[in-house]
Amino acid sequence: MPSLPSKKSVRKAIERAWFEAQPLHMTYVHGSFVESTRDIRIVSVVMDRHETRIDAVRLDNGERRHYRIERAEVVRIAPSGS
């Protein structure tokens, strides 16, 4: 089964944040089509048969959850101090 498509720029920023242990700022579209922005730190990358998710901790409240990368719209390395 093919994986769900994601933006190349999103994948590249996620890879950089993961390998450099940097915080990540992202705009994410939830399953209910609500858009939100988050500053997160990646804990691990979870690859399934048809999707890739990042296991991450939110920097503002410490909540840990999975994010599906095909739902990420804009992702960039967060400024230092986040």
Domains of the chain, by residue range, sit at 8-77
Round to whole Å and give the CA distance between 49 and 78. Answer: 29
Q: What value does the mean pLDDT take over residues 27-36?
A: 89
Instruction: Look at residue 35 and tell me whether its pLDDT is greater than 70.
Output: yes
Q: What value does the mean pLDDT take over residues 29-39?
A: 89
Going by DSSP bridges, is the β-strand pair 35-47/24-29 parallel, antiparallel, or unpaired?
Answer: antiparallel
Neighbours of 1 (CB within 10 A): 7
- Is 8-77 a CATH 2.30.30 domain? yes
Q: Is the dihedral of CA 69, 72, 73, 79 positive or negative?
A: negative
Mean pLDDT of the chain: 86
Q: Is the pTM of this model over 0.95?
A: no
Helix, strand, coil shares of the chain as percentages rounded to 5? 20, 45, 35
